[in-house]
Amino acid sequence: MQLKPIAAAVLSLTLVACAGEDGKDGQNGTDTASQIISLNETGRYASGIFDQSAAEIVTYDATTQQTFVVNANSGQVDVLDSRTPSQPLLVQSLNIAADMQTAGDIADANLVGAANSVTVHNGLMAVAMEAAQKTDNGWVAFYKISDLSYLTSVQVGALPDMVTFTPDGSKVLAAIEGEPNDDYTIDPEGEIAVIDITWNGTALNTTLTELGFTDFNVGGTRHAELPTDKMVIDGFNASVAQNVEPEYIAVSSDSQTAYVALQENNAIAVVDLETKQIDRIFGMGFKDHSIPGNELDASQKDGVNIKNWPVMGMYMPDSIASMTFNGKTYLLTANEGDSRADWLANVTDQAACEASGYFFDAGDNCVDEFSAKDYYSADNVTLVDSEGNPFASANGGFGEDNELYRLKFSYHTTVTKNGGTEFTKLYAYGGRSFSIYDAETGEQVFDSGSDFEVITANRFGEGFNNDNAETTGDDRSDNKGPEPEALTVGQINGHTYAFIGLERMGGIMVYDVSNPFSPTFEQYINNRDMTQQAEDDVNGDYGPEGFKFVSAEHSPSGKPMLMVGNEVSGSTTFYTIEVNTLQP
């Protein structure tokens, strides 16, 4: 077997002056030098539960000054008194499953699994709850915040992930991920749940509309609309509707349009909330790591070695957010990347595996996250360029540690059949960056390129690209690098800022995105002690999973804040955002 990534093309462009019409005016800039912000750790609540998902998604209610934290370990929502952010205190934990049973909404609390997401608006809280068997239908549960009393629940599709209110509070939206079970024998369809609500502070009424993707299946009325050249359609024996797995939702400021991240598909579904229809799907395209500015480190055995490679990146965002600039909506994406490896690993039918476009290995079974290193000895895999020359390390030879053959890439995306198996391009998981897209056209207007790896390498040297549950420098270079996952935006004194969490490396990247065409880096903060092993929550925060920005107007401190749920360390951390206005 040969793996053949295409050689990086070098394009020569000659500019010739000629007479003609003037071009259109460019975008107005933003005076980003007028103020500087910095995050300072103010307080921290530690659950004492390490590497068990005890703090994931966070949200905040300004009226009661309580912070709500999804504790997937207990399956509950922890309620923190955050009136004094320097000393957040656990008030109680909401046992949603027990409350649903007591209210008669379900027969047995054991039918309910973990909480996945929580959101609040105008005294009302909504919680996404998966079923104990995640392929069964889940629920969105509602609580009255003033007394934390349970109200009702709405049954939705399988594995509701992210849940959010529209800005006007008229609807609750849930991304119904529909993940398969652990051997792909059951694969629910992905959906988007739109719940219309009327809420007067006491009584709640709900109406559910479920938006599916069956029209996009092969032979369906909308299949031809899929941008197959810019998205990923794979899955084991899966229809398009099964293939699609909604992950995260952003809503336009006018509450008219929702944007839903289809992570594994490298695409965004655009939903018209007035007509309650999927308006369109746009693919996010692919990142060319051979272009200067898009460098990456492809091996976990060579220290800091950030450079251009003939590799494409599949953005596959987790968290997304929206912002408005010059009257238009823009989407910001945290380009984590995600494969289907967890479920394919238990597929043992070789013929079905290969028919679905994956690699079958007698030891590992069905394989999506592929690397030449893993199969070099057993299958005589080599990695060569378009001219048949092996990619050699700086020291020469195929077997050196800094070879591209260590990089994990998508076997399904790249495989072609032509008298055997060959690869014309390597498509790696994730973009190792955050991006900004014009929400109307789907055009990418900005990507942070190699910033995250360069900044963390400058700060931590060979400790960069660390893992989140153990301290091993360079460990994740072959597999999504710093792995940006959490993302939110907030406005401070007319400036719009993006906050991006690095799931593996840890820490928070801060950018001024007031002009989405020209963001500026502001700060990278990471309270993790890289000299210590990641064994508990004593040595800092690990695995930032969910962010909540709180404006100064609504903050308990009177200053803007960022609240962070850290999945691995099980901690919830409160950052005060200090603002320094510069004199002209």
Write down the pLDDT at residue 404.
Answer: 78
Asked whether 216 and 226 are in contact (CB, 8 A), the reply is yes
Asked whether 59 and 49 are in contact (CB, 8 A), the reply is no
CA gap 79, 75 in Å, rounded? 13
CA–CA–CA angle 167, 173, 174 (5° rounding): 140
Q: Which residues contact 353 (CB under 8 A, 6 or more apart)?
A: 236, 344, 347, 359, 360, 365, 366
For 351, left (φ over 0), alpha (ψ -120 to 50), or beta?
alpha
Give, as one character, the DSSP assignment of residue 378: H
Torsion angle of C-alpha atoms 451, 4, 315, 470, degrees rounded to 10: -60
Write down the pLDDT at residue 35.
Answer: 93
pLDDT string in tens for the chain (584-residue length) = 333 333 332 222 222 223 344 444 445 544 556 899 999 999 999 999 888 888 999 999 999 999 999 998 899 999 999 999 999 999 999 999 999 999 999 999 999 999 999 999 999 999 999 999 999 999 999 999 999 999 999 999 999 999 999 999 999 999 999 999 999 999 999 999 999 999 999 999 999 999 999 999 999 999 999 999 999 999 999 999 999 999 999 999 999 999 999 999 999 999 999 999 999 999 999 999 999 999 999 999 889 999 998 899 999 999 999 999 999 999 999 999 999 998 998 999 999 998 998 888 877 789 989 887 776 544 445 555 555 555 544 434 344 455 677 899 998 775 443 344 556 678 999 999 999 999 999 999 999 999 999 999 999 999 999 999 889 999 999 999 999 999 999 999 999 999 999 999 999 999 999 999 999 999 999 999 988 887 777 789 999 999 999 999 999 999 999 999 999 999 999 999 999 988 76
